[in-house]
Amino acid sequence: MTSVLDLAPVVPVVVIEDAADAVPLARALVAGGLPAIEVTLRTPAALDAIRAIAAEVPDAVVGAGTVISAAGVADAVAAGARFLVSPGWTEGLLEAMKASGVPFLPGVSTTSEVVALLERGVAEMKFFPAEAAGGVPYLKSLSGPLPQARFCPTGGISLGSAPSYLSLPNVGCVGGTWMLPADALAARDWARVESLAREAAGLRAPATG
């Protein structure tokens, strides 16, 4: 599979309360040009949502987010997750993700954590919580000494700030929720979600010159 970091400029970070919403939501995101969908394991419906998307939306690349245990890894992969994302990592969680057979993005927020993962042969990571942990200036400062590390920053990123992240050489994509406004989800306004997804899919790094 193509690296998760290279599927689209934005990975929607989805919290699904009702598994019945999973398929129409995923179809709207895919139609808008965002095929990589991170369903967070924060609700009882999450695994059923992943299962439904994997079975019924073939153009989606559905992954599991907020993976924090080996059991979570096993459950997510069994449900059909094609990639895994964690907010942080431990040795045990890292080993479980490595053994899962699917791509994974362990979460980091410090230089030492990045170096520790590189030492273990992992070069693709989630930078979380992006804005609170230093944002664009912090990631830019890492690109010099640690150019081999690539990131998907997530946490507090908006339509307005995403291009600044995408301009960095060590950022492949960003994670975000702005294309999933609460009122649109409550109203099941999938057309609006698709429109916002299309806007996000068109994001590019700002021109320099």
CB 166 within 8 A of CB 140: no
Phi-psi category of residue 155: left, alpha or beta, with phi > 0 → left and psi -120 to 50 → alpha: left
Question: Catalytic amino acids?
Answer: 38, 126
Contact between 170 and 150 under an 8 Å Cβ cutoff? The reply is: yes
Largest Cα separation within the chain, whole Å, is: 49
Place of tokens 């398929």: 23
At 99, is the secondary structure helix, strand, or coil?
A: helix
Whole-number Å distance between alpha carbons of 106 and 84: 8
